[in-house]
Structure 1
Amino acid sequence: MTTTESRLIYRQPLPSDLLRLFEIFGDPQTNQFNPAGPLANVQAAQRLLDQWLQQWAAEGYGWWAIARREAPESIIGFGGIAPLNYLTERRVNLGYRFAVQAWGQGYATEVGRDALTLAFETLGLPEVFGLVRPDHAASIRVLEKIGMQPFGLLDDVPGRAPSRVFRVCHPTTATT
């Protein structure tokens, strides 16, 4: 999926993305706000990639491999929408993780907007959620910029402050 005005291109992850996935998800900097920390090894990255590929096969959508339009062969991150368990409740979750070199350029906001377009205009989903650690100010700003509203808290990390939950409803089904 790519919109004409997008600086980014998106595609389904491929088995050949394994090492790049590990580089990004195994980097301590990209996991600063991830309570689970960076992926420990390539085998953990393979398990994550396998989950993504199974999700694409079952649902027809999931996290994208993301590249800049001018360098489509160079993956700068992964993100989009995918089902995620919020403890016992399954929700469609918006998420992203970018290589450090791609930070600060507005890519997360762009991916978020494009993912919501997919969710609402193509898939017709009723709502999308975002889960963010309470001290991750940059991601909170991204979720707010794309129209997500605070929805509640999720006590998902034992011994730590609860995560913040954001939500946006399909424009035609939103209630006041």
Structure 2
Amino acid sequence: MPATTSRLVYRQPLPGDVQRLFAIFGDSQTNLFNPAGPMPSLSAAQHLLDHWIAQWATHGYGWWAIAHRQAPEHIIGFGGIAPFNYLTQPRINLGYRFAVEAWGQGYATELARDALALAFDTLGLPEVFGLVRPDHAASIRVLEKVGMQPFGVLDDVPGKATSRVMRVCCPTT
């Protein structure tokens, strides 16, 4: 069942989302800070979507398909929390990717806050991490706004600058 906020709708990804996933992840603008560049093919989008659907089936949570509340059929991005390996270290990772049309409206910060509420308030997770390229100032600001602090670096892209690892721990009550 989708979750609805005052502005956004979050729902599990569905098999029919593959075209929109490819449109967003295959866009060169949405990949300016992605060393791998845009997603190369619809089959790569299908593989990623299948992975997300499997994570939902296994863990009961994962990346959401995100839409405006006024247009719930039009996906503007994907994001949330999901298990992710930082090389060989398993982490719960906060991530997102929005279509260019959705940039600059605070959706990434809103999504990040809602994903952390799920992580801490509903799932009772102890900590959540964010992995960000060192020159991606906008994403670094989003992670800082939701309370993430520098945790370290990760040499995850051979021949490129190390990624910044950010972390936030569950607030104590």
TM-score strictly above 0.5: yes
SS of 2:38's equivalent?
coil
Partner of 2:109: 109
**In 2: Cα distance, 1:3 partner to 1:152 partner:** 34
Partner of 2:57: 57
Counterpart amino acid of residue 130 in structure 1 = G
Partner of 2:34: 34
SS of 2:50's equivalent?
helix
**In 2: Cα distance, 1:2 partner to 1:56 partner:** 15
Partner of 2:71: 71
Q: How much does 1:3 deviate?
A: 5.4
Task: Provide the alpha-carbon RMSD of the alignment.
Answer: 1.1
1:45-88 per-position Cα deviation (integer Å, ceiling 9, x unaligned): 00000000111000000000000111111100000000110011
What does residue range 136-147 of structure 1 map to in structure 2 within 5 Å? Answer: 136-147=136-147
Counterpart amino acid of residue 2 in structure 1 = A
Q: How much does 1:154 deviate?
A: 0.5
**In 1: Cα distance, 2:72 partner to 2:64 partner:** 13
Partner of 2:3: 2
**In 2: Cα distance, 1:168 partner to 1:2 partner:** 23
SS of 1:157's equivalent?
coil
**In 2: Cα distance, 1:86 partner to 1:113 partner:** 22
The percent of aligned pairs where both chains have the same amino acid is: 78
Q: Under a length normalisation based on structure 1, what TM-score does the superposition of the two structures give?
A: 0.95
Q: Under a length normalisation based on structure 2, what TM-score does the superposition of the two structures give?
A: 0.97
- The runs of at least 4 aligned residues of structure 1 exceeding 2 Å deviation read 1-4
Counterpart amino acid of residue 21 in structure 2 = L
**In 1: Cα distance, 2:101 partner to 2:20 partner:** 13
Counterpart amino acid of residue 61 in structure 2 = Y
Partner of 1:99: 99
